[in-house]
Amino acid sequence: MAKLAKKRNEDPNKYLIGIGQEKMAVIPPTQDAVTLAANAADTILTEEDKEKIDLVLVATESGVDNSKSSAAYVSELLGLKHNIRTLELKQACYAATAGIQLAKGHISLNPHKKALVIGTDIARYGLKTPGEPTQGGGAVAMVISADPAVLALEDASSYYAKDIMDFWRPLSQTEAMVDGKYSANVYLEFFEQVFHDFQEQTGLTLRDFTALLFHLPYTKQGLKALRLAVENIDPTQATKYFNEFEASRKYNKLTGNLYTGSLYLSLLSLLENSDNLQAGDRLGLFSYGSGAQGEFFSGILQENYRQHLTNKTTSLLNKRQEVSVAEYEKLFNSVLTNEKNRTLDTTSDPATYVLTGIKDFKRQYQKK
């Protein structure tokens, strides 16, 4: 980000501190929302999961087709059974949360089944735009079951929706349009609204939470929301929440915005980087999707949750190869769009699932 800032004639500290981002994931043209999703899920699914999954919800605002769902491609690539439901969900960065809540309802009715929920996106605002330093990409996959290994979702949830134009992407566009400052303010308004409502509804207060997690379009945005949440408590008590926040933004600082996956990468970051968490702790999660939808909900950390963490995220992120600003711009401009035919060279893409091109408008995927 510091190198990008220099090329854009900005002070590096604007990106590093003002925006709160150290690195930005640059997604090669051989990856799209489908392959990112399949690669994420492939690393966590056991044979037992594959046997029990009968619902696959892929949340994305980077979908590759206006009709066919990414979940149809992903389920086939992962070798899941055919007697399942597959669906793509869209409501900007919020949709993975909708997926979790819908999956929770499905599992309540069918406790012997499991559901796979994936948030997968590539955040694109355009070269040399104010949104550029808040780009990024990636996917997070989660299994929802009646016997959770990591986090047990609690019943209460507070949600709020309003038709506004803070961020959107017309069907013909490959880059998002955004009213940046407005979007940042609406995000905070929605947070205050649902966090307040959640406390009214449940009788819980901030003290009942060990940490608060946020959708992180860029990590400074979550910091601003946390400051609002702790403004009426003793500063020494607030320190604990800021410390957990640092653990929760570690990975997001290194990837940029994952859109639908952002909140859940932050959850993973907290779980893998905080030394203070214990089984029984309550975590509060704030999900925000422009347009706009907000939701605040909570979960309880499960006994032995640490045993279920792979702790591979840092090595995965460290394996990435740095590209120069010129290379990044070239990659940015070579994304597959509305072409009929094109073959992509996948030799330098180390991922298991890759996009090899498009034939007669049909995307071609391969498991390496």
What are the residue numbers of the active site?
Answer: 61, 93, 215
x/- site string to ligand CAA, residues 272 to 311, per CB under 6 A? ----------------x-x---------------------
- Which residues, 158 to 217, sit near ligand CAA by CB under 6 A? 166-167, 178, 180-181, 183-184, 187, 215, 217
Shortest Å distance, C-beta 244 to ligand CAA: 20
Residues comprising the chain, all counted: 368
**Which residues share a beta bridge with 365?**
355
Tell me, what DSSP letter sits at residue 174?
S
Shortest Å distance, C-beta 318 to ligand CAA: 25
Number of Cβ atoms within 10 Å of the Cβ of 121: 29
Residue burial 182-221, b: 16+ Cβ < 10 Å; e: rest: ebbebbeebbebbbebbbeeeebebeebbbbbbbbbbbbb
User: What CA–CA distance (Å, rounded) separates 147 from 166?
Assistant: 38
Shortest Å distance, C-beta 228 to ligand CAA: 13
- Which residues, 68 to 97, sit near ligand CAA by CB under 6 A? 92-93
- The residue with its CB nearest to ligand CAA is 18
Q: In what order do the strands lie in the sheet with 53-59?
A: 85-89, 53-59, 114-123, 136-144
User: What CA–CA distance (Å, rounded) separates 285 from 297?
Assistant: 5
Among 198, 218, 297, 305, indicate the residue that binds ligand CAA (CB under 6 A): 218
The answer to whether 13 is annotated as binding is no
3 state SS of 191:
helix
3 state SS of 279:
coil
- Which residues, 240 to 269, sit near ligand CAA by CB under 6 A? 257, 259
Distance of CA 152 to the CA centre of its chain: 19
Return the axis-axis angle of helices 219-229 and 235-255, rounded to nearest 10°. Answer: 160
Q: Which stretch binds ligand CAA (CB under 6 A): 126-134, 266-274, 327-335, 341-349?
A: 126-134
Q: How many residues bind ligand CAA (CB under 6 A)?
A: 29
Shortest Å distance, C-beta 203 to ligand CAA: 29
Q: Which stretch binds ligand CAA (CB under 6 A): 23-31, 114-122, 127-135, 152-160?
A: 127-135
Q: To which residue do tokens 């510091």 refer?
A: 2
> Nearer to ligand CAA by C-beta: 19 or 301?
19
3 state SS of 22:
coil
Shortest Å distance, C-beta 123 to ligand CAA: 7
Shortest Å distance, C-beta 344 to ligand CAA: 27
The answer to whether 353 is annotated as binding is no
Helix (H) or strand (E) holding 27: none
The answer to whether 155 is annotated as binding is no
The answer to whether 257 is annotated as binding is yes
* β pairing state of 114-123 and 53-59: parallel
Tell me, what DSSP letter sits at residue 16?
I
3 state SS of 233:
coil
> Nearer to ligand CAA by C-beta: 72 or 184?
184
Annotated binding site for (3S)-3-hydroxy-3-methylglutaryl-CoA: 11, 125, 224, 257
Residues of this chain that interact with ligand CAA (CB under 6 A) are 11, 13-14, 17-19, 92-93, 130-131, 133-134, 166-167, 178, 180-181, 183-184, 187, 215, 217-218, 220-221, 257, 259, 288, 290
